Amino acid sequence: MAKIDLSNISHSYNPNDPNPVYALNPFSMTWENGNRYAILGPSGCGKTTMLNIVSGLVRPSAGRILFDNKDVTDLKTEDRNIAQVFQFPVIYNTMTVYENLAFPLKCRDFSKSKTDERVNSVAETLNLKSFLNSPARKLTADQKQLISLGRGLVREDVAAVLMDEPLTVIDPDLKFRLRRNLKEINEQYKTTLVYVTHDQNEAMTFADNIIVMSEGEVVQTGSPKELFERPNTTFVGYFIGSPAMNLFESEVSSNDSVKINNNLIKTRTNLSNLKTKNIKLGIRSEFIKIAQNQNENLIDVNVEKVEDLGNYKLITAKMGNFTIKSKVTRETEIPNQNVKLHIPAEKCCVYEDNKLI
Amino acid sequence: MNKLYIFLKYFFIVVWTVFVVAPFLWALTTSFKDFQSVNGGVTYIPWVDFEPNLEGWKVLIKSPAKGGVDIIEPYFNSLFVTCTASLISIILGTLSAYALSRYTFKAGFVKNNDITFFFISQRIMPPIVLSIPFFLFLSSINLLDSLTGLIVVYIVLLMPIAVWIMVDFFNKVPREIDETALIDGCNPYQAFLKVVLPNSIPGLIVAGMFCIIFGWIDFFFAFILTFTEVQLLPVKIVALNSSVTPWWSLSASALVSVAPLIIVAFIVERYLSKGNLSGAIK
């Protein structure tokens, strides 16, 4: 339980090379005590490096790490009191499930009764109670991963529990329950949880703060709602949400409106100080609806296909060279090939050089 | 087709079994024969073909003064030298192998793999090349003809095997196990002793077996580096030979000398079939 400050951290795996390649570009960030964070990004974007820096397995090339304002950059992993769960199950084969779960407490000289109490409580949460005395190596892969997870959760006083895609090997049903359990544990014990994933749904449902990363860069940090409605960059807009954000190359036509394919779209953004011509308009397909009686921000499109995805319909339409996707309710009638869609001005995001204005 | 397959399978098993067991049977029956029964044509069944006696075995424990050869002392010498050298080789070899597997070493162009190869390259040389250096080395530190000297030489010979097997084994143990142990609060030494080592028992057994076998069967260095004070079993057994080859006592001593290896093999086999070795590493 600690506030974790990452200050000007950067990391390269070949720092002595004349042209070092940075796995992590300089960034600063604070993880408040007791919050749930998700680090989201495609494979190879530096997520795991970031976790390993916090846990001390990797020493950053530059920058400081502070736990509760105490500098721990040079502190060894074993002295940091941090928990980390890896993507694939890591268990101590020669021990029983109980011994596995008790190991972090044993290493730190907890009393027998305290150990018993903690192991039993964690085993209860993770459904491992009936296996406590079996050899850990005899369990299935997802049970093994539960043991890894359990070892992460067994200490109450850890600075943070870092999880590196911990639920990859677990089947969807149990995954859902475990995510809820993790949330409960976080609410009950106020443990800081950091969760690395490349699955946006996992990140959105789990965390109250999401850190989006791309190519060693922290692109945006914010609540799921902020990331969804106001993506900082076109990458975030593209990466988060399903389908991805609609992005249109556009021309500026006045202080607050752009032109796409000769349709005038009003926005709430001040467009008077632009430096480049590389302007894109971004809008979530959730906000595009079939026009009812609006008289501005309308576009004429050609419906290409309508997919019924259970709880909503996804319309894919063409407007010149642009493809537009719109999510509408199942009840919506799609009159014919040619429809008018309405783009609400307050939901429009304008990007200059792929960055939000 | 299926019947033919089963027939062939059992046929080859039987042939192979005869091939493996026959020498042992031959040695066993011969060890109970005397001069007459050995030289009087081929015979197999005791009491029918020949009259068994224990002379061949008695010679092995009789003192030389009474016409025996007394292999008891060389036997225990061999046991002591092999076990001590194997144990030390395994300990040193495991430690170096862990370091070679987990840390990066660099001296000019020499890197981890080159160091590992250097170890095993010691076994590529023919033993005869090493005999003179070893002889001079032991004589310079006054350890010729002593158990300690032999142990030193055997460590040099056995440790490369241990390093080679264990490097490969540790490379297959995921690094995350060490990292998890560190996160759980072990220091690097505890992580090695409490977590990595118990996970490596299968590798240790294999390495141990190889060390014991190579140590136990060595004749060459035991012959060159000892004279009168200390003798090892293989040397003593060869010394049994004389103008009239005593097949009976040679057979008895051969059986006695493979006995420890057979016991080791049985124990390891038991352990293997219990599944204790399989699935230890995910």
Chain A from 143 to 182: CB within 8 A of any B CB: 144, 148, 151
A293-317, pLDDT tens digit by residue? 877 888 888 888 888 888 888 889 9
In a domain, B44, yes or no: no
pTM for the model stands at 0.78
**B193 close to A (CB below 8 A):** no
Distance separating the N- and C-terminal Cα atoms of chain B: 39
CATH code for position B156: 1.10.3720.10
Burial-class residue A109 by CB neighbours within 10 Å (0-12, 13-18, 19+): exposed
Beta strands in chain B (DSSP E): 106-107, 110-111
| Mean pLDDT score, B27-36 | 85
In a domain, B47, yes or no: no
Identify the residue with better confidence: B278 or A320: A320
pLDDT tops 70 at residue B280: no
Q: Which residues of A touch B179 (CB under 8 A)?
A: 57, 77, 84, 86, 90
A219-276, pLDDT tens digit by residue? 899 999 989 999 989 999 888 888 889 998 888 888 888 888 888 888 888 888 888 8
In a domain, B254, yes or no: no
Contact (CB<8Å) B198/A137: no
Tell me the count of A-B CB pairs closer than 8 A: 66
Identify the residue with better confidence: B207 or A17: B207
DSSP string, A39-78: EE--TTSSHHHHHHHHHTSS--SEEEEEETTEE-TTS-GG
Q: Which domain holds residue B209?
A: 72-239
User: How far is residue A8's CA from residue A355's CA, in Å, rounded to a whole number?
Assistant: 22
Residue A337's nearest CA partner among A307, A310, A312, A300 is A300
pLDDT tops 70 at residue B29: yes
Q: Looking at CA atoms only, how far is residue B198 from chain A in angstroms?
A: 6
In a domain, B59, yes or no: no
Identify which of B176, B185, B280 has the shortest CB distance to residue A90.
Answer: B176
Identify which of A86, A107, A137 has the shortest CB distance to residue B279.
Answer: A137
Q: Which residues of B touch A143 (CB under 8 A)?
A: none
Question: What is the pLDDT at residue B21?
Answer: 92
Contact (CB<8Å) A57/B180: no
A191-205, pLDDT tens digit by residue? 889 989 888 888 888
CA atoms within 13 A on the CB side of B124: 6
**A83 close to B (CB below 8 A):** yes
| Mean pLDDT score, B222-242 | 87
**A13 close to B (CB below 8 A):** no
Contact (CB<8Å) A94/B187: no
DSSP 8-state code for residue B46: B
A206-228, pLDDT tens digit by residue? 888 999 998 888 989 999 998 99
A102-124, pLDDT tens digit by residue? 999 998 889 999 999 999 998 98
In a domain, B263, yes or no: no
Contact (CB<8Å) B185/A57: no
Question: What is the pLDDT at residue B278?
Answer: 45
In a domain, B218, yes or no: yes
As given in the structure block, the two tokens for residue A18 are 């004349």
Identify which of A57, A81, A92 has the shortest CB distance to residue B179.
Answer: A57
Q: Which residues of A touch B280 (CB under 8 A)?
A: 93-94, 137
In a domain, B5, yes or no: no
| Mean of the per-residue pLDDT values of chain A | 88
User: How far is residue B106's CA from residue B117's CA, in Å, rounded to a whole number?
Assistant: 14
Chain A from 236 to 255: CB within 8 A of any B CB: none
Residue A222 bridge partners (DSSP):
A210
The residues, any chain, with a CB within 8 Å of residue B74's CB and separated by 6 or more, are B231, B232, B233, B235, B236
Q: Which domains does chain A have, with CATH numbers?
A: 4-234 (3.40.50.300), 244-356 (2.40.50.140)
Q: Which residues of B touch A141 (CB under 8 A)?
A: 282
**B184 close to A (CB below 8 A):** yes
**B277 close to A (CB below 8 A):** no
Encoded amino acid at B276, one letter? N
| Mean pLDDT score, A28-43 | 90
Residue B46's nearest CA partner among B66, B31, B57 is B31
Q: Looking at CA atoms only, how far is residue A263 from chain B in angstroms?
A: 56
Q: Which residues of A touch B180 (CB under 8 A)?
A: 84, 86, 90, 148, 151
B68-116, pLDDT tens digit by residue? 788 889 999 999 999 999 999 999 999 999 999 999 998 888 889 999 9
In a domain, B78, yes or no: yes
Overall domain count for chain B? 1
3-state helix, strand, coil in chain B (%, to 5): 70, 0, 25
The residues, any chain, with a CB within 8 Å of residue B256's CB and separated by 6 or more, are B60, B71, B75
Chain A from 113 to 142: CB within 8 A of any B CB: 137, 141
The residues, any chain, with a CB within 8 Å of residue B238's CB and separated by 6 or more, are B219, B223
